[in-house]
Structure 1
């Protein structure tokens, strides 16, 4: 373990040098492509079909005066079809940035490939790829491609994929949801003797070409190239719907939070069943696309910014429609600090187009804002026990239709939700835990807050004096 960690530290140092000579996105694409190359080219010469094997690449990169040329040629040679996915590694916008001739860049490439060679003996390339995605997300380079593993496992567990399901992600990023759905089914059901073909059919879509490349490589590294229903779609999900206008058993999505968007197409496929979303926020455009992509007995889990739960206007009317149609099964408040590339807190919305009888007319609210483990200042992760508690609470509610735990969860009727003007914040519905203050605690807290307020007054006065001095000097 210590040796692997040392190799990874060395690898990050090589990446930092590359970062200095390339744009962040190009650097990320190059490193992930190198991990992919390590996997697909590590074959006997006969199986390489005239393409350079990993041993060829390592030998030439280490001994060549022009390692960037060797890397370019190898990536171009290994572009192609893998199952139902196509991976194009010869992106000129990425490879063109290698032609610097700078000695530091050449050495960084040698270091990168040497460490990949060593790390491949201790880790699978799928594991290394996942670590890279997480690291890039922490650095906020390509974070939009990656959803933290604990969050992914939570959404997949809430929808509980089963053998034979079609699973779709309309904004697939790095395809973490699709890969985890396949792992979920394999872990719980294993190889099914009476099942022919893939246990799941996977479908992904993303308008970003870089994201599609990252997703395709991730899926292939996880052995899922043949489990895809088709290649990754490239159209805009909000305008065109899913490829071939398919419907699915399960939809999982982490769309960009509260993004601005334009709805200026008259031939748009996605129907606004619950009303047109505001152009300033696309959250409920995504929700309606997800619901429109579900089969009659489908289920979905979507990550949304907290504001989607309480903003007024058109979004309130859409929430009212969702509640009245009884397609909303649960809302789970996640803890803050889970997403390195954004500080916006989020909720998971769980949808079910055909609730069981005991769940009809009810919504489960889970307030998990205090869950998770602090890993650094402002950063938390959902550990396995957190995921298990959230998913277990929902599974129990699904089976019984009732759940009520002070400070954690509560079952709420549709009439109660309507009485709050369709405010769907879990904290609005889950009863907080009441703690009796120790003797003198209230007075102590008042003194602390008073001192803090006086401090703010003093700082405001100081700033006012400085601003007056500046204005008088003009």
Structure 2
């Protein structure tokens, strides 16, 4: 049974109460690290219970450590030695024998035991857990006490093996840390509602594909990859879906690897990289002068908006054959990178700021090339304040590589949301309406319009949504006769009120100031 919203909120409050002076952006590295180690330990223990029978892991390890290690590596890609399990940490805490070095030693052993095949997926994955940091405590004793609290806390979270509770909780906490870590720290997270729209559009009509490859070149926490994969019929079947992604931030790279594996993705189906996408094309691409990029069935991205980048000497880069984005705004550089790695029959979706629809110069030339090449399928306008790292309204642009038709669907979904305290949230009905409108590819009054290429050319290739979707709602006509009657009623009420006031005024007794002075004087004499 999945965790309820109330249970999730309680877990978040409890976690927050134990973090002390550590900022959320750093605290998440420890909590996610402990959660992920527990996940790996329990996965290893479950596997061991299924294959060892009556023998213990300690006994098998003691017979031949190298053979035992290779045995676990072949099946899991990693090794957890006897005494290093999460349950061993908890036992040591209960017996008052725990110290922070147990964690340090376990993580060292873990890194040493990762198989060569799984190096890219596990190597350095716990590097953000700095167990010597003074933020954990001034000395080893206080740092040990802090880690004991967190291990005990994570141990109390009960998971149901038959559901994706652990992965869902992990995704929930990613969102909460993003929302509470400031705008910059929230860049790694795409709200699930937006991921869901993009995933449903990308997977539409392709859910039954036996083999499916997906790529996110600005991967963040991996939520776009996971959500897209979840709509495929073979999600969870080993080898059916291949996940590719790249991100420049090392902490985010670790976060995504954990996220995918905690959602049940096998390590050998994960191909993630820690690098600069625009400066280091991957996977493959131009190698030794030969253009041979890896292509994908679906490409999705929510890149940093209007990022500054080095656009020097890019003219010969095959990714940017439609033009080079300006140095001050890398939006079209990310878009063209995505399109370059898309299969001929693939589909891509990318989140971008509105400026890409109408800005001039180099961006206008790129936009014109994309339109004349029939690549742009749809432009979907989203509400403002739905992302943790920006309050600006954004769009989802959907593109295909070898499309025959040249029209463009415009959807103005900017007004469909639920207002919250400091943000806006897309409701399920808002999400469904966007997806259903995209799939129908028809005009919807005040909401969507299919624009022909002639119409787009008449607008000088400007794709600003209000040029195509008229959402203006006229003011209701004024009934002059009714207004006259209402004014007449008001006049009558004023006249009656004035008459009532005058009647009351006439009943008041007026006192002469001189008489009042004499009366006061007489009263004073009587007192004397």
Distance 1:168 1:375 in 2: 32
Match of 2:51?
none
TM superposition outliers: structure 1 runs of 4+ over 6 Å:
none
Query: For 1:17-52, what per-residue CA distance to the aligned partner results, in whole angstroms no more than 9, with x for missing partners?
Result: 1xx24x654322222111111211124372743351
Alignment CA distance shift 1:107-1:408 (3 Å)? farther
Where do 1:251-400 residues align within 5 Å? 251-264=299-312, 269-355=317-403, 357=404, 360-377=405-422, 379-397=423-441
Alignment CA distance shift 1:7-1:169 (3 Å)? closer
Equivalent residues of 1:37, 1:78 under 8 A apart: no
Distance 2:178 2:219 in 1: 15
Per the TM alignment, residue 302 of structure 1 is displaced from its structure 2 partner at its CA by 0.4
Query: For 1:417-457, what per-residue CA distance to the aligned partner results, in whole angstroms no more than 9, with x for missing partners?
Result: 1222222122221122423336389x9xxxxxxxxxxxxxx
Per the TM alignment, residue 349 of structure 1 is displaced from its structure 2 partner at its CA by 0.4
Where do 1:153-164 residues align within 5 Å? 153-160=196-203, 162=207, 163=209, 164=211
Match of 2:514?
none
Distance 2:362 2:314 in 1: 20
Match of 1:210?
251
Q: RCO (CA 8 Å, sep 6+): is it higher in 1 or 2?
A: 1
Match of 2:69?
none
Task: Choose the corresponding residue for 2:18, options 10, 14, 19.
Answer: 14
Query: How does the TM-score come out when normalised to structure 2?
Result: 0.73
Equivalent residues of 2:311, 2:326 under 8 A apart: no
Equivalent residues of 1:173, 1:215 under 8 A apart: yes
Match of 1:237?
277
Q: SS state of the match for residue 233, structure 1?
A: strand
Per the TM alignment, residue 253 of structure 1 is displaced from its structure 2 partner at its CA by 0.4
Stretch deviating more after TM superposition (240-249 or 303-312)? 240-249
Structure with greater Cα Rg: 2
Q: SS state of the match for residue 30, structure 2?
A: helix
Alignment CA distance shift 1:60-1:268 (3 Å)? farther
Per the TM alignment, residue 201 of structure 1 is displaced from its structure 2 partner at its CA by 1.8
Per the TM alignment, residue 383 of structure 1 is displaced from its structure 2 partner at its CA by 2.6
Q: SS state of the match for residue 297, structure 1?
A: strand
Where do 1:50-449 residues align within 5 Å? 50=82, 52-61=84-93, 67-79=99-111, 80=114, 85-91=121-127, 94-97=130-133, 98=136, 100-101=138-139, 106-121=144-159, 124-140=165-181, 142-160=185-203, 162=207, 163=209, 164-186=211-233, 198-226=239-267, 228=269, 231-245=271-285, 246-264=294-312, 269-355=317-403, 357=404, 360-377=405-422, 379-397=423-441, 403-437=442-476, 439=478
Per the TM alignment, residue 336 of structure 1 is displaced from its structure 2 partner at its CA by 0.7
Unaligned runs of 5+ in 2: 46-55, 58-71, 73-79, 286-293, 484-528
Distance 1:354 1:137 in 2: 37
Per the TM alignment, residue 210 of structure 1 is displaced from its structure 2 partner at its CA by 1.3
Q: SS state of the match for residue 314, structure 1?
A: helix
Equivalent residues of 1:330, 1:349 under 8 A apart: yes
Distance 2:8 2:363 in 1: 49
Distance 1:138 1:13 in 2: 17
Distance 1:29 1:283 in 2: 29
Distance 2:312 2:93 in 1: 50
